[in-house]
Structure 1
């Protein structure tokens, strides 16, 4: 009896949670698609795949997948460079890469990526997203590169100030952001209705009542939007740029999904995530999205947090949210076509602001300046170059920083009987510390015998070993405990 009651309660919670996630996912699916430069329907298709396919798969039972704001910039750049038809091929191959990595049990290794690089990646994405969507809010064509988007802000301000159409559209977007910010200050009962849905609904209603002529979302229907990639789309990726884009899709989508899983696990006391299975689930989802020519799919912390906070108990909630997306797209497609683009841009500007860890920057600088530098350089590199190169630079800096911090080396020079000098080297001797070690050794008096004591040395790499041997041979001195290191 108790078991039946518990199942009934869990079912009720899952159904209610699925409705909440659906209401959060709907404007984000459409907004991410529009910001990515693709038809709005492709965002809905990806959301549906995230619910009805990934939702059934093992891995993480409560996190929800769909199109993510974090990949918007990368998708936009890929569509601009390769064309919309090639997007499906990119996503499909990236999905197969994820499936392979999951099968080889690489899922757990994504947890080893330093948080500074991930935060820098999200901050860079967030800043490009914010500045890019400011142009969409004003119905002004945005520049392609991230740095041009930032440098073009003065011109954007002039455009808004001198054009009534731009000012009207921008006001709609700004009002949408204001609703999103103020909604959290309302009583908890009011917040049961998702803020993005309220903001977009109010902006749509105000636009309709006032009769403002502003750009709106264009819709054609789900089936007509499905464009499977052809053989020519795959062959166009046979270049370094194409392979780099595929790798960037796979790695960034995987990292975002698995970091989201770690965050979701901290929100509930249910079963923990199996990272390898979750990576394979995301890979299968992206493979299907690629076949359908849709947007890439990742686990999304906004939807996942809404799912947990709404009281979801099983994966049924995320499956049902996909079903509600199907029913909405099938029964009420015209409802999407009345949404102002400026309102969706406002939602994404707000989402981009949440990607920038403003509150964490000062504490991070005080406690771990090296991590703060890695974060900042990663973000700046993404803005000035692109996502893939920015993340690679961040990872390289993180590795160099780690190697530098772990290669602590201390040289102590003291006199012994007979006028001998004993140089005791402790710590880790790597090539990174060669300059300092050579400066100390070469500064020793040449007219006094010297003995090197390496008995306390934890590590000695090949470069340092050869340097010490050559220096000892030139000085005609001895090295203690060299063979033991």
Structure 2
């Protein structure tokens, strides 16, 4: 590597490090785990996953998209189970990669993915606005929504809450205004600038706000024990592992597709990238750390800062390790309200507000799936919300592909010929039966199903039943071919 290329990669790695540092810490706090575990995951994402094949430019680490799932898992099973869940999810990802199933993640409906991210974003925002006000958040998503009207009164009730709310709101304001400043006026990434401003303001005005509690990396690493591993046989734990593996895989591979559009370098090998992500998660599980995904914010920062090789993402892991080892006390200066503000901003970025109206105008079915998935994630949980979204996407596809066209003609000999074309499924049964029952009841009818590409069992049974009833009650002569050409049985 030439000196010029090395300088460019080092410069890009420093930018990624400065973006990743506050996000690693903030995501860990929002997930209900020690802040250092977010740094551990970021370090593994840089030093290990950064060296593995797959995508050469996207950067891995803890992701806001997994915050809700991790928080629910830790709340339900306890912090000691986190490593076991992440280890099992990582091994499942490795298996999916070995089976070369990585490319199939691209077949997931985009509306479901956007709805999932929107639901995650809403859940993060709803949870972190309470943290910004130094107020305990209700347990459920609907409870958080119901508590919003009373939140300002609670926040203004004490000096500490007022100070925390001011710090959090100022952090969000910095993040919103930062991209609008001239490039020369913003030498630091927005998240780091906002957190540094909060640290300076807290110290300068001696604000009574809570700050991070730092223990050091070695103090938080806890490999899974035999008791935790034995719980992998529980149905609920298996469900959490599958959800963690599938959602982290989907987020990583969608991120890879987005990053590939940002540069002209080598394209991502999806199966190898899935293997790399699974390996990283398995190592994070052994260390008891947070799960990782490829993160679009850090990856975009890497590409925009000039990163062109794996060196930039590996070096960003080196900087995270050095900072955690040499300057852990610096983390204890960060106000929790500032991290909450960073996550509120990150959660809002996950909500595709600008796409909703155009999507409703041109693809209303997709808009409905997106909205239903988002609402279900907030009201129920991440796994059930995604399952509901996938179910709606399948139903929508089945409805759109199930089209039946009728051609009714008189053959001149007293018989009526009814020709059906298209795909006849149970979804179209009401239309089919309404059309048939509207035909004259005193004349024989021939049904021509040769143009039907698919005829499911429900439709065949309904047509046969209608034909028998018509023959008995009215005019004999209805014929349903037993095995129509081109129709599925």
Question: Where on the TM-score scale, by shorter chain, does this alignment land: which range?
Answer: over 0.9
Describe the superposition over 1:336-383 as per-residue Cα deviations: whole angstroms up to 9, x where unpaired.
010000000000000000000000000000010000000000001111
2:449 paired with 1:448: no
Find the counterpart in structure 2 of residue 65 from structure 1.
Answer: 60
| Other structure's SS at 1:456 match | strand
Whole-angstrom distance in 1 between the partners of 2:203 and 2:377: 38
The answer for the alignment partner of 1:178 in structure 2 is 173
In 2, Cα distance between equivalents of 1:250 and 1:205: 39
CA contact (8 A) 1:126 1:352 kept: yes
What's 2:425 paired with?
A: 430
User: Which position in structure 1 is the counterpart of 2:216?
Assistant: 221
Partners of 1:147 and 1:243 lie apart in 2 by: 26
The reply to whether residue 255 of structure 1 matches residue 256 of structure 2 is: no
Deviation of the 1:106 alpha carbon: 0.6
- The answer to whether the 8 Å contact 1:173/1:345 transfers is yes
**Which whole-Å deviations, capped at 9, do the CAs of 1:73-119 have from their partners, x for residues lacking one?**
11111111000000100000000110000000110000000110000
* Cα distance in 2 for residues equivalent to 1:222 and 1:206: 27
- Separation in structure 2 between the aligned mates of residue 147 and residue 190 of structure 1, nearest angstrom: 41
Q: TM-score, normalised by structure 1?
A: 0.97
**Cα distance, 1:165 vs. partner?**
1.4
Q: Classify the secondary structure of the residue corresponding to 1:209.
A: helix
1:140-170 CA deviation, whole Å, 9 max, x = no partner? 1111211111111122111112222111101
Aligned to 1:8: 3
Give 1:482's aligned residue. 484
Equivalence for 1:231 = 226
Q: How does 1:206-355 map to 2 (within 5 A)?
A: 206-355=201-350
TM-score normalised by L of structure 2: 0.96
Task: Indicate the SS of the match to 1:118.
Answer: helix
CA distances 1:111-148 after superposition (whole Å, capped 9, x unpaired): 00011000000000000100100111111111121111
Equivalent pairs, count: 480
Q: State the alpha-carbon separation in 2 of the partners of residues 239 and 422 from structure 1.
A: 59
CA distance in 1, matches of 2:197, 2:83: 34
Equivalence for 2:151: 156
8 A Cα contact 1:411 1:423, kept in partner:
yes
Match status 1:401 vs 2:408: no
TM-superposed CA distance for 1:297, in Å, is 0.4
Matched with 2:474 is: none
Q: Could you tell me whether the CA contact under 8 Å between 2:453 and 2:486 is conserved in 1? A: no
Note if 1:110 corresponds to 2:105: yes
2:262 aligned counterpart, secondary structure? coil
CA distance in 1, matches of 2:142, 2:52: 40
Distance in 1 between residues matched to 2:4 and 2:447, nearest whole Å: 73
Aligned equivalent of 1:139: 134
Q: In the aligned structure 2, how far is the partner of 1:344 from the partner of 1:252?
A: 24
| Residue in 2 that maps onto 1:196 | 191
In the TM superposition, what is the alpha-carbon distance from 1:192 to its structure 2 partner?
Answer: 4.2
Secondary structure (helix, strand or coil) at the match of 1:141 reads coil
Aligned residues of 1:219 and 1:333 also touching (Cα < 8 A): yes
Q: Which runs of no fewer than 5 residues in structure 1 stay unpaired?
A: none
CA distance in structure 2 between the aligned counterparts of 1:416 and 1:44, rounded to whole angstroms: 78
Number of the residue aligned with 1:123:
118
Work out the CA distance in 2 between the residues paired with 1:436 and 1:161.
59
* CA distance in 2: counterparts of 1:191 and 1:432, whole angstroms: 57
1:374 aligns with 369
After TM superposition, give the deviation of residue 473 of structure 1 in Å. 4.3
How far does the alpha carbon of each residue in 1:207-254 deviate from its partner, in whole angstroms, 9 at most, with x for none?
Answer: 001111210001010011101111111223432221111111001000
2:451–2:486: 8 Å Cα contact kept in structure 1? no
- 3-state SS of the aligned residue for 2:419? strand
1:33-52 equivalent positions in 2, closer than 5 A = 33-52=28-47
Q: Deviations over 1:409-450 (max 9, x none)?
A: 122222220222111111111121112112222232221011
The question of whether the paired residues in 1 share the 8 Å contact of 2:159 and 2:208 is answered with no
